[in-house]
A and B are shown apart, each in its own frame.
Chain A
């Protein structure tokens, strides 16, 4: 806007600052809680300034040495599990969706539209609806407590397929023809031309799917029983044992803070990629 009205500027800033406060305050509280002892947090007005047990609590969480009643799996291990499954899920989703979108857009085969719509229809079907049968299948294959069990059922993605299909449809037909004239076969065209052009969409999807994979809750809760295979999100849940036992909220909060770092990093690092990709886009 070109308008210059001081009152409006002040007002918009107040709204923005309020919004930031509302969102940031719980995060801040989590951080504060992760720097105190359990006793300090349990006091009636919880302290609002960081305490002195930062390193102690984070080391406890990282190594699983906190003396709580719930699970004591080390966060280091859980972060590793989370990272590996999130990477498998996001990369798997991207490669499968790229290939299926490629097939749907560029190949003429019988029932092509039917295939596309049947993929599309699964969009309407949330994981929770098919969780029973999926669990049965995974259990019967003996994939419980394994990376395969954690990731494979989550890899197929109608959303990503649909997104890539829409993107491929915008690639000019003449580019395909030029590649044919140059003698590029279908996979060559896919690798040399389609893939580089899709880089921006791939980057965007990677961020979204990485966070999706990292934040998986319900599914890992069902298929993991072994502490060694807990993703960090489940780890937090298992740390909270419930009941009357004393909870090590400081360690739980430290774990929560740690669990937030990788997705935040992915967003921050990939953001540069987005911008680069967007600037590079060919009109």
Chain B
């Protein structure tokens, strides 16, 4: 068990004036046994940040410590961590057993100890019947479990996951998500999990770090991130369909942006007048795209309604009322929450 602490962590590639800064000073304290998800669009630096914790990327500036021990200059194998890679990175010529045992073999763990640890991990992950198979004889989900098994047998202080679910199909992904949660409950090991998928982030995280452009935009529980997004970026990145951001909303002050989630707009007999542009049926819900015309131009507003409600005709005018307690206000120039 361990805590992870990131202090003003900076990463740049190249040196001098041509240096390309990709992580702009990230500060975060991750508690013992916590499950933290780093989420953001591609290229936001989330994987780089994870790889810096893993020791696969050098740390340009700042300090990373695991369990109060600064690990900046330690080899990955000395950091007492285990990592699950996106492509699993199983050794193709080794059997499942050898794959899981390799790290222990190098660490000169006695053979019977290796056996008992691998057997235990195989039992947790239901890999027992496959121990003698080669990775290519396994399905994607099984390979994924072997990769997790390899991490578990090392009994590390910290688990690092680098988009481990993105190569699985949707059904398996949901299943594996539950398994990872179960695993975390059982083992209670501090985990850092990188993903670009907000559903994964929301469901797995105890707390989540939302990143954009190498900057940590928000660090909080999924509920905080959803109900009180710190910036306009977080507001649009988390939640699908994204939050409506209106520059000229009725009642908004100049210089501010008003945010309202599609599910917090109710269609009523009076209120803002919108022209219906499109309607999408998603099964349990229906999305209505309305155009809000005002002096300075048009703004698009998405409204989420239940499937039971009547379908507005295209081109017709509807009236909506925002729930007053669910309005968000952001500074128009900085994008920060007011």
Interface residues of A (CB under 8 A from B): 172, 174-175, 177-184, 188, 192-193, 196-197, 282-283
Contacts and interface: CB of A to CB of B under 8 A. Distances in A.
Nearest to A197: B93
Q: Name the residue in A177, A182, A192, A197 with the highest tally of chain B Cβ atoms < 10 Å from its Cβ.
A: A182
A178 B135 contact: no
Interface string B235-261: 000000000000000000000000000
Nearest to B154: A182
A177 B150 CA distance: 14
B123 to A, nearest CB: 22
Contacts of B135: 282
A179 B127 CA distance: 22
Contacts of B181: none
Interface stretch (B25-33, B84-92, B267-275, B308-316): B84-92
Contacts of B90: 178
A200 to B, nearest CB: 11
Interface of B: 54-56, 75-77, 81-83, 85-87, 89-93, 102-103, 106-107, 135-136, 150
4 closest A-B pairs by beta carbon, nearest first, are: A183-B77, A182-B103, A282-B92, A174-B89
B56 A196 contact: no
25 contacts: A174-B86, A174-B87, A175-B89, A175-B91, A177-B76, A177-B85, A178-B85, A178-B90, A178-B150, A179-B91, A180-B56, A180-B76, A180-B77, A181-B54, A181-B81, A181-B103, A182-B77, A182-B103, A182-B106, A182-B150, A183-B77, A184-B102, A192-B102, A193-B93, A282-B92
Contact of B106 (A177, A188, A196, A197): A188
Given A181-B103, A184-B106, 12 more contacts: A172-B89, A174-B85, A174-B87, A177-B54, A177-B76, A177-B89, A178-B150, A180-B55, A181-B83, A183-B107, A184-B77, A196-B93
A282 B136 contact: yes
Contacts of A193: 91, 93
* Interface of A (DSSP majority class): helix
Contact of A180 (B75, B82, B93): B75
Contacts of B75: 180, 183
Nearest to A185: B106
A177 B135 CA distance: 18
Contacts of B136: 282-283
Contacts of A175: 89, 91
A209 to B, nearest CB: 23
B77 to A, nearest CB: 3
B71 to A, nearest CB: 13
Nearest to A184: B106
A181 B76 contact: yes
Contact of B82 (A172, A179, A181, A196): A181
B81 A197 contact: no
Contacts of A178: 83, 85, 89-91, 150
Q: Name the residue in B82, B86, B102, B150 with the highest tally of chain A Cβ atoms < 10 Å from its Cβ.
A: B102
A204 B92 CA distance: 20
A228 to B, nearest CB: 43
A132 to B, nearest CB: 45
A180 B91 CA distance: 13
Q: Name the residue in A172, A180, A196, A197 with the highest tally of chain B Cβ atoms < 10 Å from its Cβ.
A: A180
